[in-house]
Structure 1
């Protein structure tokens, strides 16, 4: 391949033309793969089909431009080196390259390869990582994926460099370029070049037209989820301490659901259910190694399909992109995930306020997940409810310590609850800043706000601490209140009947006039208004470390039936007479049991029929260590 004169220019143009066609074919394949994987046609999300094609085409165009720029810069350097060599050795043949020139051309190919690796690493590395995780040949690689990724990239880069060097030093590339020139001069290839340029222009123009003519007119939606927040530790649910004045004020303006039930007692399956409206056994994210399936439509995707700006601000590993929660979000901020290392309410509130102000003129769906009430319980000087404690527990309470402390007296347990309350007050303080920002921007009366939690927390009620596995009320009863400015007649309404937080997605979509077809469950606002009947309430106990210790609870009115899958035993409680679930009435209420078992067995049948395995969750080293520090992984 000559780099001089007309032949050189034709060769370079031929390579760039073929590269453009290949990159646009790649863009179409990537878009088609994502659209089919997410089943956008099956869900009727045609706007997302268009936006995904546009994103992939433009993304591949940018990669093409980057590689083309590197290639042209490399050609320029090689020309300069060759010109210098010819001045020093004018008798040298034009096609013969120096060692320096060969190395430069090889380096250009290597840089282009690295650009491709960086641009498309998410497309192929998860498959390699999953193989390494499940392979018994190299167990020490299982939690060192960052090292493995670097090693694979280095090996591939070195192999490509030497392959490129052999190619350019032996002159084989001239034959390849000649073949490319013969191909590119054919009319079909020229037609493909024109089609690629036309595709880029027309797709972007049509997408611009579609977005401009389908601007959503509905109000904004903010969904706030607070990790490990027990309902009975909020004053609006009867707590004897004012831990959450800002949340209490919002609850007074909206609808409060007294018996909201989470569909799982820990974060991943619970929040996956909130975002998909599917039970945990349907979405399959029921252990730390599994994530939601791509083809499951998320709440963010439904809002995005209606051209809402979708924004996620999260602070917990189990709701990050690794587990599929970024699916459908135009902005997904997970910069403040810290695990048990410190507080993060201030930072994620700052981010949320910034996004609210940036998108005040758009219709947006904003999801904020607060983490601070979760273990470790840290003391805050401003909310130091545990002041004066002189027991044996450390001032910052860790679950690992509580679980291994054999004797805790009443003062110790009170101190743990006091520090936990301080975490709630600290979180509420920053949520109050968000509410004030909405008032300052004039968006309070244009925004539907829902507040809930993923699960509760155990404080020694049955000898345990933390969460997971069990489906007793201290773990699955969570706060839920919704402020809908378009329904002022529901201000201050309190719903005593049990409801599932699974149906929050349908409620929020219909509250702003969007289509919720295909979503199971009922509209909570309509239930509060007496416009819809109550549904069956289920919750599934699962275990982050595996699939054992599974439980299933069914609640109807005041009755609660629990099945323990490991040993096949049952528990039956009357929540009105026994809210702490201490007296098992399974053998004492045959008529009630018979009625509950009919629904329970039908649900079990559906569970086995629709059970989904989920998808592998590929954790980074940092994510693995963070979950291990929180007690989700390991002994």
Structure 2
């Protein structure tokens, strides 16, 4: 009997709390909302190690950061051979595997076919139709996969919620009807004074833009635009007649920061809007419709869940666990998670410990935002994490630090490796070790403009062609 297909929408930088399916006030995801009513939605699903590279490494292996040895965006070298990826496992079981939009990242290892699309800067209109560009590649590939007699895994990395936020009309104005260049508005002043990010972000904003609400509306508009384009793929699934034999997954690697915590329009900082991500699964006949799961779940749980749904057995000892017992209320088979280790190596190197009530963040080196070395938030009474109470609650800081360090020691012993947060000292991609001061970090970490990034990318491609011609 032919095994089921898997279609996974891996949406970069998608905030759970900006999706209407998760209760957001703006109707950003009407098509995903309908999809969620036909499947299972996980309300408290966390990606503990941000950003993209460690997030997807965990998602596609079923391992935590100790198991993958990956914590940094700019991970040096390949994904270790000590782990097997989901596409590798599926390939061993007769699956065709295609990856769209994730070529070259260590975490995407193991796909049989890689395809790319224009998913970054603006086109000639000044906007960026990222999701439709993806569709032009993905839908023909989907049809090709269906024509063959093998089950398939189609993974698509959507980039619309990732900066630059440039949704095409009318999505650029559906959530905004103001004057984005109002000279009396000062909500973007602090961003424009922050040199590491200012040139990059202002390069894709309208000239003279002053209103942070406009930028937020572009983010929401990009989600709504992507949602409409995702429906086009879901329609193709229905037209092709494979809906009943296909597991479809909608999820994200991490969230996004808007005009918050002085971490503008990026995905760093161990705050809730970066750590809590969506997960929605639909599989007619195997999963109930309209189910919502409240328990804490983690990104490392996805691969074990997929394999159990497909009835694929392996001898891998995953760090994660299948979520099906939660779906079917078989709590005897699920070890509930109440607290966990969190890490980031994007523009700062920090780690911490999250419980249902508290969030501890500890810097491992000075950061570019001049933030305090220790942050402590009561996520129950202060859900926006605006009041750092570390100085007022030293005993809680001490207790949570001890729990974090005990967990690190436990995982180091289990894996036989040092915590990768301690060994990835060139996480920033620079030819140096840890920053000695926040000023050094501020002076060193610079994004630049879209044009600069495109020029660097073109230079790399030309260098690659030159090297090929020499061989």
TM-score (norm 1): 0.56
- Matched with 1:247 is 32
Partner of 2:110: 328
- Give the whole-Å Cα distance in 1 for the aligned partners of 2:325 and 2:397: 30
Task: Note the C-alpha offset of 1:438.
Answer: 0.8
In 1: Cα distance, 2:90 partner to 2:5 partner:
10
For residues 376 and 404 of structure 2, what CA distance do their matches in structure 1 show? 12
Q: Does the alignment pair 1:290 with 2:76?
A: yes
Q: Distance in 2 between matches of 1:477 and 1:632?
A: 32
Partner of 2:91: 304
Residues 6-45 of structure 1 correspond to what in structure 2 (within 5 A)? Answer: none
**Residue in 1 aligned with 2:303?**
505
- Report how far residue 248 of structure 1 moved: 1.0
- Alignment check: 8 A CA contact 2:257 2:264 kept: yes
* Partner residue of 1:475 out of 242, 250, 274: 274
Deviation at 1:529, TM superposition (A): 3.0
CA distance in 2, matches of 1:326, 1:569: 33
- Tell me if structure 2 keeps the 8 A contact 1:266–1:467: no
Q: Does the CA contact (< 8 Å) of 2:175 and 2:220 recur in 1?
A: no
SS of aligned partner of 1:368: strand
The match for 2:20 among 206, 227, 235 is 235
Counterpart residue number, 2:284: 485
Change (3 A) 1:402 1:386: farther
Equivalences for residues 510-589 of structure 1 within 5 A: 510-516=308-314, 517-531=316-330, 532-535=334-337, 536-543=339-346, 549-566=348-365, 569-586=373-390
Q: Distance in 2 between matches of 1:340 and 1:539?
A: 34
How much has 1:276 moved relative to structure 2? Answer: 2.3
Give the 3 Å change call, closer, same or farther, for CA 345–467 of structure 1 in structure 2: same
Mapped to 2, the partners of 1:221 and 1:303 lie a distance apart of 10
What is the CA-CA distance between 1:445 and the residue it aligns to?
Answer: 1.7
Question: 1:205 — aligned with what?
Answer: none
The residue that corresponds to 2:46 in the other structure is 261
Counterpart contact for 1:527–1:534, Cα < 8 Å:
no
Give the secondary structure class of the aligned counterpart of 1:290: coil
Higher RCO by CA contacts (8 Å cutoff, separation 6 or greater)? 2
Structure 1 pair 525–352 and aligned structure 2 pair: CA distance change class (3 A):
farther
Cα drift, residue 264 of structure 1: 3.0
CA contact (8 A) 2:8 2:248 kept: yes
Contact 1:284 / 1:611 at 8 angstroms: preserved in 2? no
Q: How does 1:12-411 map to 2 (within 5 A)?
A: 217-280=2-65, 282-284=68-70, 286-288=72-74, 290-295=76-81, 296-314=83-101, 319-321=102-104, 323-339=105-121, 342-360=128-146, 361-383=149-171, 384-392=173-181, 400=198
Provide the C-alpha distance between the structure 2 equivalents of 1:335 and 1:286, rounded to a whole number of angstroms: 24
TM-score scaled by structure 2? 0.74
Q: Matches of 2:249 and 2:387 in 1, distance apart?
A: 34
- Indicate the RMSD between aligned Cα atoms, in angstroms: 3.6
Residues 1:627 and 1:445: Cα distance change in structure 2 (over 3 Å): farther
- The structure having more radius of gyration, on CA atoms, is 1
For 1:393 and 1:218, the matched residues in 2 are separated by: 57
State the partner residue of 2:445.
Answer: none
CA distance in 2, matches of 1:497, 1:221: 24
Say how many residue pairs are matched: 397
Q: Structure 1 CA distance, aligned partners of 2:253 and 2:223?
A: 14
Contact 1:284 1:291 in 2 (8 A): no
Does the Cα contact within 8 Å between 2:63 and 2:320 map onto a contact in 1? no
CA displacement at 1:307 relative to structure 2: 1.1
Alpha-carbon shift at residue 280 of structure 1 (Å): 3.7
The answer to whether residue 212 in structure 2 is matched with residue 413 in structure 1 is yes
Further displaced range: 274-283 or 448-457: 274-283
Do 1:495 and 1:528's aligned partners in 2 also have CA atoms closer than 8 Å? yes
Contact preservation (8 Å) 2:255, 2:275: yes
Deviation at 1:436, TM superposition (A): 0.7
> Where does the alignment leave 5 or more consecutive residues of structure 1 unmatched?
1-215
Contact 1:575 1:581 in 2 (8 A): yes
Deviation at 1:428, TM superposition (A): 0.8
Partner of 1:359, secondary structure, is helix
CA contact (8 A) 2:7 2:247 kept: yes
Deviation at 1:350, TM superposition (A): 3.0
Q: How far, CA to CA, are the matches of 1:221 and 1:431 in structure 2?
A: 15
Give yes or no for contact 2:247–2:282 (8 Å, CA) kept in 1: yes
- Among 453, 456, 471, the alignment partner of 1:629 is 453
Deviation at 1:252, TM superposition (A): 1.5
Deviations 1:30-64 (A, max 9, x none): xxxxxxxxxxxxxxxxxxxxxxxxxxxxxxxxxxx
**Superposition deviation, residue 305 in structure 1:** 1.0
Residue by residue, what CA displacement relative to the aligned partner does 1:490-549 show, whole Å, maximum 9, x if unpaired? 3222222322112211111111111243222111232333331313433211125xxxx3
CA positional deviation for 1:351 = 2.4
Who is 1:496 aligned against? 294
Post-superposition offset of 1:312: 0.9
Q: Any conservation in 2 of the 1:263–1:273 contact (CA below 8 Å)?
A: no
